[in-house]
């Protein structure tokens, strides 16, 4: 239970937040923290746990966003069906990308993932009959759970909280299960893992497909929440970077890391956007520069992310308290 203390506090606070305030801006921030945290967790399944760093996860996010929007607009089908379709399509796309990850390593794999998202962006902005092209699709609002037309921010908060919990549990599974340990072996050294009987290639592909499906689900929820799908946003490299950034800043390969990263980045973005645009309209992109600097500082000084920094702090304190010697080196 103690190892989940952080998550219990975090998700607990999110759950009771509506009791404290009904301020729409504040609740919106919490919904987005949970949403981006959950989607970064989905990225983390491939990027953190399997060590397959992708900068093209917006592809799966966009697939999820479009699947639901297109089915609703053209055939009046429930976004829940779109959610399922998006996840299925993303599994297929994930298998293709996963196959590539066995052919291409390191930077070449990253480039392939970026290219993949770009291809989908072009397809979505050109296939006008289906996607309404570069103008984007407004998602029709129909009140009700089945149509995901939730009028109140509070309902959205609990829905995204449930989604975030699922993602947290998926990651915990990847820490304590047989598959998780084997994946850790593949991440640490693929040749050694294979020598020990682990089907490294297959596991990587499975992890990427899982990651893709979960990211897609996040895309569907986001599109329904925001109510509009813009191809230049949902397939953008900015978004792919954001997913990776949250996880890396918080602590890649840890279950809580992506959520910690999301708390920092999402609230920072909300705050900076509001204040900077107040000062001068020209400052609106400055938050991106601040992200960049933050990433450099984190990677240089706290490579294990926030969770690593916090963990080291707690351990040091516990050690001095018990007067233990530091670990042998």
Partner 1 sequence: MTKRFGGLTAVGGVSLDVDEGDLLGIIGPNGAGKTTLFNVIAGYYRPESGRVVFEGRDLTGHPPHEICRLGLTRTFQIVKPFGNLSVRDNVMIGALTRVRSVAAARAEADRGVERCGLGDYADVVAKSLPIGLRKRLELARALATRPRLLLLDEVMAGLNPAELAAMVELIRRVHAEGVTLVVIEHIMAAIMRLTRRIVVLHHGEKIAEGVPAQIARDPKVVDAYLGEEFTLE
Q: Determine if 325 is a binding residue for partner 1 (CB under 8 A).
A: no
Q: Determine if 326 is a binding residue for partner 1 (CB under 8 A).
A: no
Stretch that binds partner 1, among 12-20, 66-74, 111-119, 173-181 (CB under 8 A): 173-181
Q: Determine if 312 is a binding residue for partner 1 (CB under 8 A).
A: no
Q: Determine if 102 is a binding residue for partner 1 (CB under 8 A).
A: no
Q: Which is nearer to partner 1, 50 or 65 (CB)?
A: 50
Q: CA-to-CA distance for 236 and 66, rounded, in angstroms?
A: 14
- Of 243, 233, 204, nearest to 56 by C-alpha is 243
CB of 194 to partner 1, least distance (A): 4
Cβ-proximal residues to 212 (8 Å cutoff; 6+ apart), any chain: 46, 57, 60, 90, 91, 93, 94, 97
Q: Which is nearer to partner 1, 88 or 302 (CB)?
A: 302
Residue 250 near residue 256 (C-beta atoms within 8 A): yes
Using the rule CB under 8 A, which residue among 195, 284, 297, 299 binds partner 1? 195
Q: CA-to-CA distance for 271 and 123, rounded, in angstroms?
A: 34
Using the rule CB under 8 A, which residue among 143, 282, 300, 329 binds partner 1? 329
Q: Determine if 200 is a binding residue for partner 1 (CB under 8 A).
A: yes
Stretch that binds partner 1, among 78-86, 193-201, 241-249, 289-297 (CB under 8 A): 193-201
Q: CA-to-CA distance for 144 and 159, rounded, in angstroms?
A: 13
Q: Which is nearer to partner 1, 191 or 278 (CB)?
A: 191
Q: Determine if 185 is a binding residue for partner 1 (CB under 8 A).
A: yes
Output the CA–CA distances (angstroms, integers) from residue 162 to 83, 127, 168, 175, 233, in the order listed. Answer: 15, 34, 10, 20, 25
Q: Which is nearer to partner 1, 153 or 187 (CB)?
A: 187
Q: Which is nearer to partner 1, 193 or 209 (CB)?
A: 193
- Of 275, 261, 253, 308, nearest to 34 by C-alpha is 261
Residue 68 near residue 78 (C-beta atoms within 8 A): no
Q: CA-to-CA distance for 130 and 126, rounded, in angstroms?
A: 9
Q: Which is nearer to partner 1, 169 or 195 (CB)?
A: 195
Q: CA-to-CA distance for 272 and 253, rounded, in angstroms?
A: 28
Q: Determine if 107 is a binding residue for partner 1 (CB under 8 A).
A: no
Q: Which is nearer to partner 1, 157 or 198 (CB)?
A: 198
Q: Determine if 193 is a binding residue for partner 1 (CB under 8 A).
A: yes
Q: Determine if 184 is a binding residue for partner 1 (CB under 8 A).
A: yes
- Of 142, 147, 84, 120, nearest to 232 by C-alpha is 120
CB of 257 to partner 1, least distance (A): 15
Q: CA-to-CA distance for 91 and 125, rounded, in angstroms?
A: 22
Residue located via tokens 């340990």: 181
List residues binding partner 1 (CB under 8 A): 176-178, 181-182, 184-185, 188-189, 191-200, 327-329
């Amino acid at each position: 239970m103690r190892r989940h203390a952080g998550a219990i506090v975090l998700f607990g606070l999110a759950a009771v937040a509506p009791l404290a305030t009904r301020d729409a801006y504040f609740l919106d921030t919490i919904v987005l923290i949970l949403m981006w945290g959950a989607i970064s967790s989905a990225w983390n399944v491939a990027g953190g746990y399997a060590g397959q760093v992708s900068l093209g996860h917006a592809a799966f996010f966009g697939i999820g966003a479009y699947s639901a929007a297109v089915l609703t607009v053209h055939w009046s089908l429930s976004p829940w069906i779109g959610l399922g379709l998006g996840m299925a399509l993303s599994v297929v796309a994930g298998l293709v990308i996963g196959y590539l990850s066995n052919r291409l390593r390191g930077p070449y794999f990253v480039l392939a993932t970026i290219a993949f998202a770009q291809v989908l962006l072009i397809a979505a902005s050109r296939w006008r009959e289906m996607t309404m092209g570069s103008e984007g699709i407004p998602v029709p609002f129909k009140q009700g759970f089945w149509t995901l037309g939730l009028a109140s921010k509070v309902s959205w908060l609990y829905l995204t909280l449930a989604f975030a919990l699922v993602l947290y549990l998926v990651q915990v599974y990847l820490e304590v299960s047989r598959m998780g340990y084997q994946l850790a072996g593949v991440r640490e050294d693929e040749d050694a893992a294979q020598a020990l009987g682990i089907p490294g290639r297959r596991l990587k592909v499975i992890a990427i497909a899982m990651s893709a499906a979960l990211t897609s689900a996040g895309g569907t929820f986001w599109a329904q929440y925001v109510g509009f799908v813009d191809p230049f946003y949902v397939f953008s490299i900015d978004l792919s970077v954001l997913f990776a950034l949250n996880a890396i800043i918080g602590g890649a390969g840890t279950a809580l890391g992506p959520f910690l990263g999301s708390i920092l980045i999402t609230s920072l973005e909300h705050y900076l956007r509001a204040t900077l645009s107040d000062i001068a309209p020209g400052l609106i992109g400055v938050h991106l520069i601040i992200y960049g600097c933050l990433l450099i500082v984190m990677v240089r000084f706290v490579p294990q992310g926030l969770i690593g920094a916090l963990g080291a702090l707690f351990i040091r304190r516990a050690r001095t308290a018990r007067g233990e010697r530091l670990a042998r080196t």
